[in-house]
Structure 1
Amino acid sequence: MLPVRSQAFIRQTLSVCRFTGCWQFQHSGSDVLKQSTARHYRSQPTHGIGRYRHLLPPEKDPKKKGKLATKEIKPKSDCEYGFVNLQVSGYNMTLVEHFTQYIHNFCNRFSIKVEESYANPTKTTEVMLLPEHGNKMFVDSVLTFHERVIQVSGLSSTFSPILIEVLLMNQPEGVNLLVKEHTEADYQSRFKSRPDLENLMASIN
């Protein structure tokens, strides 16, 4: 027979062992449950399927605009022109812009290839007025001259008279229309001249 103290110690030890084993079993069971319900993908079962962005080359930053490359002037043939510029100009920007859109839509409708459409730098003219009594002139008004250019290619010599006639019939009042072949000078006119910078570069070189 064991003493009373020894029996009490054995009972306490057995109860502690049972509690520890039960807690370990519950803890391991909860871990298995978490592992079985955890997703190895991010958000959806189909995550990552059909990705193609990583296969494409990196896109250029749209804020970093490089200098436009000079395009070769397409030579004309016997039956069609090369590059033709349709220049629309006037003092009313709304009329100039709407007539430019009309020409662009007309070219798209009749399968005339539009290479590009751009705006030339706006020109400003100050009207000076000399009063009757006085020698100092002051600014009476400021006129802004707007110009838009639509460059087309592959215009046939048989369709060009029809195109010009239709455009002249729908030309708004106060808007000028000029049809001419594209030249290198037309390309350079798109950029504002910087005489100070050009002189500085010439002196450095």
Structure 2
Amino acid sequence: MNSAFRKLQASFALHSHVFDQTSLLFRASLSVKWIQGSLLLANERQYRTMPTHGIGRYKHLLPKEAPKKKKEKLQMKPIKMATDTEYGTLNVKVSGYDMTLVEHYSQYIHNLCNRLGVKVAESYALPTKSMEVMVMPEQGTKMYVDAVLKTHERIVQLSQLNAAFCPIFLEVLLKNQPEGVQLSVKQHTEADYHARYKARPELEGLMAQIN
């Protein structure tokens, strides 16, 4: 009885082992078939049949920007007139042949105004002026250019400067004035406004013909 039962157990174990091996082979064959099918689908490149317009475009996703306004023509600001206690619009002009000195001194004036509470309306550069130095030799009458001097100018425009404080302010500027740099202060006029732009006689002639 025991021997028959043992034989039955052995045969059952053998059948279960064979069943397990068969199920593993079946699963492996299914996975191989699925991999082969996916490879075939990938090699077919079905995406080539899809439309490609619009790919890579993103501007339609961005918010719409307001149209840019055209730049208006620069117009001269109204000149402030002097009163009993304050000056109107003053131009502190710095000029010289060395651009570095002129630039640094104009920056010093601007920073000094900021520290002392003097209102600076504008700070800008004027067009560079060139002057040729002609030399005549001892023998001969033909002159030739010996050097070209370039004058650099900067304007620091002050507004409503206190009349009582003005002498002290100018004294500080004169004491810190570097060598080779000229300093002048004058009332701002309409001619000074037009002087900051380069003259274009050809364009002005064409505009005159059109008008």
Tell me which interval the TM-score lies in, with the shorter structure as reference length: 0.5 to 0.7
Amino acid at match of 1:171: Q
2:87 is matched with: 81
Of residues 108-117 and 67-76 in structure 1, the stretch that sits farther from structure 2 once superposed is: 67-76
Amino acid in the other structure paired with 2:108: Y
Describe how 1:2-151 pairs up with structure 2 within 5 A.
67-151=73-157
Q: 1:176 matched to which residue of 2?
A: 182
> What amino acid sits opposite 1:190 in the alignment?
R
Structure 2 stretches lacking a partner, 5+ long = 1-62
The unaligned stretches of length 5 or more in structure 1 are: 1-53
Aligned-partner Cα distance in 2 for 1:106–1:95 = 16
User: Residue 122 of structure 1 aligns to a residue in which SS?
Assistant: strand
Structure 1 residue 65 displacement after superposition? 6.4
| Distance change >3 Å, CA 156–CA 57, structure 1 → 2 | farther
TM-score by length of 2: 0.65
Larger radius of gyration, structure 1 or 2?
A: 2
SS in 2 for 1:171: coil
Q: Please tell me whether residue 152 in structure 1 is matched to residue 150 in structure 2.
A: no
1:179 partner SS: strand
Instruction: Supply the distance in 1 between the matched residues of 2:205 and 2:147 (Cα, whole angstroms).
Output: 33
Match of 1:73, SS state, is coil
* Cα RMSD (Å): 2.6
Alignment-derived partner of residue 44 in structure 1: none
AA partner of residue 137 (structure 1): M
Give the ranges of 4+ consecutive aligned residues of structure 1 lying more than 3 Å apart after TM superposition. Answer: 54-60, 64-67
Aligned in 2, Cα 1:138/1:183: closer, same or farther, shift over 3 Å? Answer: same
In the TM superposition, residue 203 of structure 1 has moved relative to its aligned partner by: 2.6
Aligned position for 2:31: none
When the two structures are aligned, how many residues end up with a matched partner? 153
Q: Tell me the alpha carbon deviations over residues 1-36 of structure 1, each in whole angstroms, 9 at most, x when there is no partner.
A: xxxxxxxxxxxxxxxxxxxxxxxxxxxxxxxxxxxx
Higher helix share: 2
Instruction: Quote the sequence identity (%).
Output: 62
Q: CA deviation at 1:81?
A: 1.2
Q: CA shift at 1:198, angstroms?
A: 1.8
3-state DSSP of counterpart to 2:127: coil
The 1:66–1:141 alpha-carbon spacing in structure 2 relative to 1, beyond 3 Å, is farther
Alpha-carbon distance, 1:202 to partner: 1.8
Alpha-carbon separation, structure 1, partners of 2:73 and 2:144: 39
Q: Tell me what 1:192 maps to.
A: 198
Query: Which AA in structure 1 matches 2:82?
Result: K
